[in-house]
Amino acid sequence: MFQYILKRVLIFLPTLLIISLLTFAISVFAPGDPIKEMLTSQTGDGQSANIMASEKAYQEKRQEFNLDLPIFYFSFSNQASSDTLHRIVKKPHKTNLERLIYQYGNWPEVENYYWSMRDYEQAVFNVEKDSTNAAQLIKLKDGVSELLTSYKEDKIDNKIEEIVELSTQSASLTALNSTTLKMKASYENMKAKESSWKNFIPAFHFYGTDNQYHKWFFGDKPLFGNGDGKWSSKGFVRGDFGRSYKTQRPVSSELTDAVKVTSIISLLSIFLTYLVAIPLGVFSAVKRNTVFDQISTTTLFILYSLPSFWLAIMAIVFLCGGDYLDIFPPAYKPDLSGGFFSDLKSQAYYLILPLAMWTYGSLAYLSRQMRGGVISVFSQDYIRTARSKGLSENSVIWKHTLRNSLLPIITLFASVFPAAISGSIILEMIFSIPGMGKLALEALVGRNYPIVYAVVMCSSILTLIGYLVADILYAIVDPRISYK
């Protein structure tokens, strides 16, 4: 048995590794730029007084979050693409460059072109604004920004023509001429040295351990001691989940705050479910085909099919103020000033409705399973033997039947573990409960990847543990199942 447990735990590791790769991959392919959202939310306004200053801040933030490193240990791409592309700071620029590389196939020339455009951008910025060139300057700035994100040949041609034209319209802009010509020349160069055949030859680049995935998962702090100051994290494996992009707080503290709320509701709900469903199921099976059984079966079936978020919305409409009854509060806003458990009575008041919504679905499912299991056991021969031996009905039910119908119960228990922590996203959003579900959803939509990784990995670990616990319980409950 112990060997079996050990073997199962060892199989966790490759599974977890693959899950970590999957979640990491999702974040990589996602559009949207978390650093940009971080910066705008921090400064409060989107304006930046100086392109270069904000770009420096952008670059620093990226380095802080390791986003200027390659993504993985190696990359498998084609000869045309570059292995240093990850150093380009702005994401829209990067995507455009990838497109240009695909079109022309020659990274050195594309890189030249890119930096010539950036030089031009800086040069435009350095020109002193006065009445003769104000309008032109604005158009030039817009023109260059557009150039940096265009890849279609005719569009670029038009834009460059436009820029050349605009530069001649004012005397103060002639200083830009050399940079303009350089830009045009590098563009022509890129087109001339086209080698898009390189797209068709695969290439392999190796980056070693200096990549984002390694830094996230394994960390770069040495195992013992503190090393020198520039190590950033201990890595996920050692418990350091990083910091949230949005609030800059450590992810583990955000997680513990959310888990506290979710686990209270989930654990209470599980307790209630098992407390009510098991006797109810057994009772229905014993009193099979009586009025009680028929009513409870139909009711439970209806409860089981009712979508929980619909019932929650109906409850809010009809029971929580507005035009109708006002029994329950619609949103979870207790006064937590004295700590989490300070005011149990008001906590309970806020939690009744969410708890009910959480519980009724699994309660209905569990009692139906229980009923089905007990019915199938009742028709077995050994129950007939027990009855003919003269055992009381109570003893037959609780000592013999129950243990044999426990298997579906245990299966349900396995899925309860991860649900206890990951919560129900929809119900938490409806009732504004600050639990794990709400945290995960807001992190997903807001591209707050450290939290997303942590939540997904924790749920996966708990799911695997839950399955292991279920298998062990199977072996305990049913002596026929053994793992020798």
Partner 1 sequence: MSNDKNREQINELDQSFWSNVKRQFKKNKRAVFALYCILFLIFIAVFADFIANEKPIVAKYKGKTYFPIVKQYAVDFGIGKWPKDLQNVKWSDLEYDFVLFPPVPYMSQNLDYKNSQYKSPFDDQILKSKRWRHWVGTDKLGRDVLAGMVHGTRIALSVGVISMSISAFLGILFGALAGYFGDNRLRMSRIRLWLNVLFFFIALFYAFGVRSYILSDALGVSIISLLGQLLLSFLIFFAVMTVANLLVIPLKKIPFLGKRVDVPVDLSISRLIEVIISIPRLFLIIAIVAVAKPSLVLVMVIIGFTSWTGIARLIRAELLKVRNLEYVEAAHALGFNDLRTLLKHAIPNALSPVFIAIAFGIASAILIEAGLSFLGIGVPADVVTWGSMLNLVQDYPNAWWLATFPGFAIFITVTMFNLIGEGLTDALDPRLRQ
Q: Which stretches of the chain bind partner 1, using CB under 8 A? A: 14-15, 18-19, 22-23, 26-27, 29-32, 76-78, 99, 102, 199-200, 202, 301-302, 304-307, 309-310, 313-314, 316-318, 320-324, 330, 418, 422, 425-426, 429-430, 440-441, 444-445, 447, 452, 455-456, 459-460, 463-464
The half-sphere exposure of 329 on its side-chain side, counting CA atoms within 13 A, is 14
Min dist CB 401 to partner 1, Å, is 18
The sign of the torsion formed by the CA atoms of 4, 9, 10, 14 equals: positive
Give me the least distance between CB of 11 and partner 1, in Å please. Answer: 8
CA 315 to chain centre: 29
Instruction: Specify the amino acid at residue 451.
Output: I
- Give me the residues paired with residue 326 across strands: 320
Helix (H, G, I), strand (E, B) or coil at 32: coil
Least Å distance, CB 317 to partner 1, is 5
CB of 456 to partner 1, least distance (A): 6
Residue 129 CB, nearest distance to partner 1 (Å)?
Answer: 39
Minimum distance of partner 1 from residue 332's CB (angstroms): 14
Least Cβ distance, residue 231 to partner 1 (angstroms): 29
Q: Which is nearer to partner 1, 70 or 330 (CB)?
A: 330
Cβ 301 to partner 1 shortest distance, Å = 8
Nearer to partner 1, 95 or 395 (CB): 95
- Distance in angstroms between the alpha carbons of the first and the last residue of the chain: 6
User: Between residues 2 and 76, which has the closer beta carbon with respect to partner 1?
Assistant: 76
Closer Cβ to partner 1, 143 or 418, answer by number = 418
> Considering beta carbons, is residue 116 or 448 the nearer one to partner 1?
448
> Cβ(442)–Cβ(433) under 8 Å?
no
Between residues 202 and 239, which has the closer beta carbon with respect to partner 1? 202
- DSSP state at residue 305: H
**172-180, Cβ contacts within 8 angstroms, sequence gap of 24 or more:** 172/127, 172/128, 172/130, 172/132, 172/133, 173/127, 173/133, 173/136, 173/137, 173/140, 175/123, 175/127, 176/120, 176/123, 176/124, 176/127, 176/140, 179/116, 179/119, 179/120, 179/123, 180/120
Residue-wise DSSP of 424-477: -HHHHHHHT--SHHHHHHHHHHTT-HHHHHHHHHHHHHHHHHHHHHHHHHHHHH
Nearer to partner 1, 54 or 150 (CB): 150
Give whichever of 125 and 151 is closer to partner 1, judged by the CB atom: 151
